Structure 1
């Protein structure tokens, strides 16, 4: 039994020494144009998903996310705040998105899987990912409007997006980020 404990302790000490050597040697590349090691990517993704799901588990999702007024208000915010990274119907890529790592999800393709988790992510952001914490500048109703939009975004055509955003015929972008009857 004593040999097993000594061996485990030695492995822990070696593991900590290896981690310290990696940390302080500067050998791990943090450049945004070089992906993480595969194991690092998997560990970060798993930790991120579990952390978001845990924190979102107590959030109560409003019943009216299908309300067309919510979709319009959500699009009003999404176009200037989110489309540059997460795209909008008819957009292939952007210069900003191309330079980000990790690559933001293309919400026009896969949307969201859980409204509460999407709300939590929009409100609090994600550390070291480029995802801002919009809760610092927007009230919860505005954030739920964006979640409502994200539920329908994958099935939306470019023409529907232009109509929804009041975009011009050439770019599909709205004339501005107007704020109507909600507080920030």
Structure 2
């Protein structure tokens, strides 16, 4: 008797929830932020998904100077509208995003030799290559090869604490935006 009562309550709650959502109870517009529980759930799902897939990713050496140069040119051409760059103000596009895109140059510089840094690098690779659903993050792996994506990862890892002058030097010495298909 208790199990059937619990099943009825859960089923009824699910049906009421679906009806409420179908009637627009949850505001999906980007100017209305998620409920804290929704935001926590999305964050947990995103992190769990990346963690599950990152363990199978093989990362190349990311300190290669030519890789950094390739990454700088591609980042400057493809990423700054959402993720900004040192010395630049956020674009109108970036300001209108929800969730907001990470601003990598405002983060602390990343160490290259610890396990957490390697995990983040693999996560960056996965996100750049495959994108993230229901955000503005595109799947660049559809138009760029893995080597180019790893170059962007290498550059993103160097962005933390980078000055505007350092950024200009790296992007000026790059080969600009290119594709290797």
Mark yes or no: TM-score above 0.5: yes
Per-residue displacement from partner, 1:121-180 (whole Å, max 9, x unpaired)?
Answer: 00000001000000000000000000001111103111011111118xxxxxx8x9442x
Partner of 1:86: 83
Distance in 2, Cα, partners of 1:90 & 1:158: 5
Task: Check the 8 A contact 2:70/2:176 in 1, yes or no.
Answer: no
Report the TM-score, using the length of structure 2 for normalisation.
0.88
Distance in 2, Cα, partners of 1:39 & 1:14: 21
Equivalent residue for 1:165, pick from 153, 165, 171: 171
Select the structure with the greater relative contact order (CA < 8 A; seq sep ≥ 6).
2
Partner of 2:43: 45
Distance in 1, Cα, partners of 2:105 & 2:48: 24
After TM superposition, which residue ranges in structure 1, 4 or more long, deviate above 6 angstroms?
Answer: none
Per-residue displacement from partner, 1:104-128 (whole Å, max 9, x unpaired)?
Answer: 1111122775111110000000001
Distance in 2, Cα, partners of 1:165 & 1:177: 7
Q: 1:86 to 1:178 in 2, by over 3 A?
A: closer
Q: Does 1:30 align with 2:36?
A: no
Partner of 1:171: none
Distance in 1, Cα, partners of 2:19 & 2:97: 28
Report the TM-score, using the length of structure 1 for normalisation.
0.87
Equivalent residue for 1:156, pick from 162, 165, 170: 162
5+ long unaligned stretches in structure 1: 168-173
Cα RMSD, aligned residues only: 1.9
Q: What are the residue-to-residue correspondences of 1:23-172 with 2, within 5 Å?
A: 23-62=21-60, 64-110=61-107, 113=117, 114-166=120-172
Partner of 1:170: none
Distance in 2, Cα, partners of 1:160 & 1:108: 11
Distance in 1, Cα, partners of 2:51 & 2:29: 28
